[in-house]
């Protein structure tokens, strides 16, 4: 977790599902996920380091939609921005114009269509996420 600050912020987990999988997502229900790459947008109001450490830990109680999905995924990279402002919906709105999403995923506390986006190619997904974060100073860490 070197290079990840303790401050509040907004982040994106970029991860791969190498095979088609049916995955139950808590109360949201089960979904058939295509093989490819996904970006999840989230906020870390208690600190980026703590939140991202939790996401990278496989032994945790499932609480958020992403917890059900990430345990079956290969995390490839993290993009984050240090900010106390809740910009995750702004980032999600940009991505929603460029990439397909899973409606209802990760949006129990906002009015966005989704906070999970799909792309079959990692380079394109990375480019789109970096573009969505571009109005804000952000960092990219490949894992």
pLDDT digits (tens, 9 = 90+) for 51-68: 999 998 878 888 889 999
The Cα 143–Cα 141 span in angstroms is 6
User: What pLDDT is recorded for position 2?
Assistant: 76
Measured CA to CA, the distance from residue 86 to residue 89 in angstroms comes to 7
pTM, rounded to two decimals: 0.94
According to the model, what pLDDT value does residue 63 have? 86
Residue stretches of the chain with pLDDT short of 50: none
User: Could you list the residue range(s) of the whole structural domain that residue 78 is in?
Assistant: 9-142
Residue at 4 is within a domain: no
Tokens linked to 41: 């947008």
Q: Is residue 21 part of a domain?
A: yes
Instruction: Tell me if 115 is assigned to some domain.
Output: yes
Q: Is residue 65 part of a domain?
A: yes
Q: Does 3 reside within a domain? A: no
Look at the chain and report how many structural domains it folds into.
Answer: 1
What pLDDT score was predicted for residue 59? 81
Tokens of 133: 């974060």
What pLDDT is recorded for position 1? 65
pLDDT of 13 reads 98
Query: What's the pLDDT score for residue 11?
Result: 97
């Amino acid at each position: 977790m070197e290079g990840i600050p303790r401050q509040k912020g907004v982040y994106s987990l970029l991860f791969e599902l190498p095979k088609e999988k049916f995955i139950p997502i808590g109360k949201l229900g089960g979904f058939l996920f295509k093989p490819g790459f996904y970006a999840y947008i989230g906020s870390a109001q208690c600190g980026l380091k703590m939140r991202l450490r939790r996401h990278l830990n496989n032994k945790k109680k499932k609480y958020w939609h992403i917890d059900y999905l990430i345990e079956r995924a290969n995390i490839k990279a993290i993009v984050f921005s240090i900010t106390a402002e809740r910009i995750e919906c702004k980032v999600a709105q940009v991505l929603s114009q460029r990439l397909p999403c899973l409606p209802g995923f990760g949006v129990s506390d906002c009015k966005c269509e989704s906070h999970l986006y799909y792309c079959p190619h990692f380079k394109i997904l990375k480019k789109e996420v970096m573009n969505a974060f571009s109005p804000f100073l952000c960092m990219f860490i490949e894992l």
